[in-house]
Chain A
Amino acid sequence: MAENGLFLDDVTIALNGQTLVSVTHRVAPGDVLTVMGPSGSGKSTLLAYIGGFLPPAFEASGRVFSGDIELTALPAEDRHAGILFQDPLLFPHMSVGGNLVFAIPEAVKGKAARAALAETALEGVGLAGMAGRDPDTLSGGQKARVALARALLSSPRMLLLDEPFSKLDANLRGQMRELVFSKARDGSLPVLLVTHDEADAQAAGGAVIRIGAA
């Protein structure tokens, strides 16, 4: 399925005329490209550009492809980029199950079918039977896993990870890394990881791009 990889074609992002990121790279399905840089280096803007939510203050050029599809020609909602941020960002007004069902594409019809799919996804991250819970009552690690399950349920073309492990306790961090990367491999998803933690880059095992004054 090499044709479904992520291809960054001469992507350049600048702020006030100063270039923050400039990259051309191909990420094969299941592979991870790690972008490393200190905080404030603008590494997250790369994710924002790919995901389609770059703030208007930034100037960006270059194209991003998922397989044959040019993502940069599409609005954010048609890019299907599964995003994980530092915070799990579970929608606080929905139940855990509600968060998951919200992510399931409309093509899956029927309330029962959608709920069953959400439950399977919860089992997949070791949280079986938690659908009825209030997200705020989960532990930090549980929230992170729900966020992952939610991203995977939306049938994404890729995963965009914005330091998603940095707020987890050290022992949880390793588990979560393992879980995310194995899920990406299982789903043949190209992954773009942005981090300032060398251990993240090592665990990812793919190519590493360093930006900013490192």
Chain B
Amino acid sequence: MLARLGPPLAILLLAGPILAGLAGTLLPAFGYLPALGGEAFTLAHVTKLLAQPGLATSMLLSLVPGLITTIVSLGVVAFFIAGFAGTKTFSRVQHLVSPLLSVPHAAAAFGLAFLIAPSGMIARLVSPGLTGWQQPPDLLIVNDPLGLSMMAGLVMKEVPFLLLIALAALPQVDLFRTRRLAAALGYGRIAGFVYGVWPPLYRQIRLAVFAVIAFSSSVVDVAVILGPTTPAPLAVRLLRWMNDPELSMRFFASAGALLQLGVTAAAILLWIGFERLGAWLRDHACARGLRFRRDTWAGRAAFAGMSLAALLTFAGLATLALWSVAGLWQFPNVLPDSFTLKSWIAAAPRIAGPLASTLLVATLSTLIAVALTVLCLLNENRTGRIAGRRAMWLIYLPLIVPQVAFLFGLQLLFVFTGTVASLPALVLVHLVFVMPYVFLSLADPWRAFDPRFEAVAAGLGKSRLSTLLAIRLPMLLRAILVAAAVGFAVSIGLYLPTVLIGAGRLETVTTEAVALASGGNRRIIGVYAFVQMVLPAIGFAVATVVPALIFRHRRAMRV
């Protein structure tokens, strides 16, 4: 049966490009690349890399923000769940935060930049009334040298991610009874959560946390838009080296990609150290019976952080939209003097091509990912065994290995096979990143499907295929479309894979938008970022409206 092919195909398509890409990075880093005359292994390129000015700073600007972003995001999510799970506030915030997951990183980062810049929306709202500013102050807020705004931009995106992953794991831990038990024993709400619920919950979401560390410590698009520039974080400088037309720079850039792998690995190792330390502190406090009765403030602070992340994202997106239709808009006016479609009309001819390739690549990679996920899940049904720890590592692999470390090597393979900047190559690379998200969002509803429906259908004489087509897939239509919308959103937002494998010839809305960052034309950026954020929203709208229409007379099919 076809389902048997699911897991091997998934392994091939996920691990294959990653391993091949890592090899394609590793060998040139040590001088081996016969096609460019590198016949012997040498440390020369590594030495040259280490001699780069400001390299240590760049490394720190990758490592430290990566860890801080993760600590803040995880802390907000954990304490928010601890303090509020099961309340009305919780479900309200959950509904507010969930759509944020689909906002591409670049759009969210632009939105934040448009809010917090000296001439941004926040300064306008309080000027000149509170500040007396008639001109934008000369402050370096966006691109600040410590990477604070970059971290803020990352936290805004990682909080919804971790919240949704944690919510999916929550039913497997007995939160409410543990909370009552801990309360009965006189423990504060947060303390009871940390002692009783957190250990099993954290075990479930640990790989996702690693993914956050890996992403934040090697991010390019958010760093280009919000991050420090002199020097920039390592991954940003890497991309510059990689795009150098000088071919011999490949060796050097490969060595840099390897260094990035090391930086991310170091970040994860440090994190594992933090895990140990945290566990030790927790056990220590628990053994002493510390009750932290008055710890509700921690939950409230997390609630504030959660709301702020959502608020900033929404306000940022609104500001982007406003800029895209703004005519003259002088500081410190809160609204433009006039509205015009000029920016849209000017951008339209240039955006059409990238828009078409964005949609094509997103659609194809999503369709393949959904089909592959369904095959893997069918195989679970066949064998009666669900994906274990090792399979989950494989699924998270593309999210844990820093993108830049294997994409550059993969680009090399595509260059040599003459397939770089081709549609199949770009779809394959997007698939590597789309597949994990599709699998993670579809697996739970798929596994929760009552198998007795299939037993009934088999008893009615229906083959497995017709049962799949007539019963399981229609009943899971909503879940499948949501998973597809998630995959679609991921593909739309992918920056680095598109830049490297599209090689500047296959452009998407996202690569164009990030390329505009340095230009600083807010109106055009507004147009691109708006398109970028609308596309995933359309995907989710389709996933909501289509099942609602098809099953409008079926009460049990409603959510």
Q: Report how many residues on chain B are interfacial, defined by Cβ distance under 8 Å.
A: 30
Q: Which residues of A contact B327 (CB under 8 A)?
A: none
- Enumerate the 8 nearest inter-chain pairs by beta-carbon distance, A residue then B residue, closest first: A56-B384, A92-B556, A76-B458, A136-B555, A136-B556, A83-B459, A154-B460, A53-B455
On whether the beta carbons of B459 and A91 are closer than 8 Å, the reply is no
Q: Do A89 and B461 form a contact, CB below 8 Å, given A53-B451, A55-B384, A137-B555?
A: no
Asked if B461 and A92 make an inter-chain contact with CB atoms under 8 angstroms apart, the answer reads no
Q: How far is the CA of A116 from the CA of B156 in the complex (A)?
A: 59
Determine if B505 is an interface residue (Cβ-Cβ < 8 Å): no
| Option from B451, B463, B471 in Cβ contact (under 8 Å) with A91 | B471
Question: B456, A89: Cβ atoms under 8 Å?
Answer: yes
A78 proximity list for chain B (CB < 8 A): 461
With A92-B475, A92-B556, A136-B556 as known contacts, state yes or no: A57 contacts B461, CB within 8 Å.
no
Given A102-B470, A134-B553, A154-B461, the answer on whether A91 and B455 have CB atoms closer than 8 Å is no
| B453: interface (CB < 8 Å) | yes
Whether the Cβ atoms of B459 and A79 lie closer than 8 Å is yes
Can you list, as one digit per residue, whether each of B436-466 has a CB less than 8 Å from chain A (1) or not (0)? 0000000000000011111111111111100
Asked whether, in the complex, the Cβ of A93 is within 8 Å of the Cβ of B458, the reply is: no
Known: A53-B455, A92-B475. A134 touches B450 (CB 8 A): no
With both chains docked as a complex, state the minimum distance between the C-beta of B222 and any C-beta of chain A, in angstroms: 42
Contact residues, B466-482 vs A (CB, 8 A): 467, 470-471, 474-475, 477
Q: Could you jot down 28 A-B contacts, CB within 8 Å?
A: A51-B458, A53-B455, A55-B384, A56-B384, A57-B384, A76-B455, A77-B458, A77-B461, A77-B467, A78-B461, A80-B459, A80-B461, A82-B459, A83-B455, A85-B452, A89-B450, A92-B475, A92-B554, A92-B557, A93-B475, A93-B554, A102-B457, A105-B461, A136-B554, A137-B555, A151-B459, A151-B460, A160-B459
- Interface mask (A110-143 → B, CB under 8 Å = 1, otherwise 0): 0000000000000000000000001111000000
Check if B383 is an interface residue, CB within 8 A of chain A. Answer: yes
Docked pose: A74 CA to B339 CA in angstroms: 71
Residue of B nearest to A103 (CB): B460
A146-186: CB near B (< 8 Å → 1, else 0) gives 00001100101000100000000000000000000000000
Tell me whether A81 and B471 are in contact (CB under 8 A). no
- Cβ A77 vs Cβ B464 within 8 A: yes
Q: How many A-B residue pairs have CB under 8 A?
A: 82
Q: Is A14 part of the binding interface, using a Cβ–Cβ cutoff of 8 Å?
A: no
B459/A154 in contact, CB under 8 A: yes
Binding site for A on B (CB under 8 A): 383-385, 450-464, 467, 470-471, 474-475, 477, 551, 553-557
Check if A150 sits within 8 Å of B475, measured CB to CB: no
A139 to B445, CA, bound (A): 27
- Cα(A77)–Cα(B456), bound, Å: 10
A51 touches B459 (CB 8 A): yes
Q: Which of chain B's residues have a CB closer than 8 A to the CB of A59?
A: none
| Residue A52 is within 8 A (CB to CB) of chain B in the complex | yes
Q: List, in ascending order, chain A residues with CB within 8 A of B553's CB.
A: 95, 134
Nearest-CB distance from A23 to chain B (Å)? 20
Cβ–Cβ < 8 Å partners of A137 in chain B:
555
Q: Judge whether A52 and B458 touch: CB under 8 Å.
A: yes
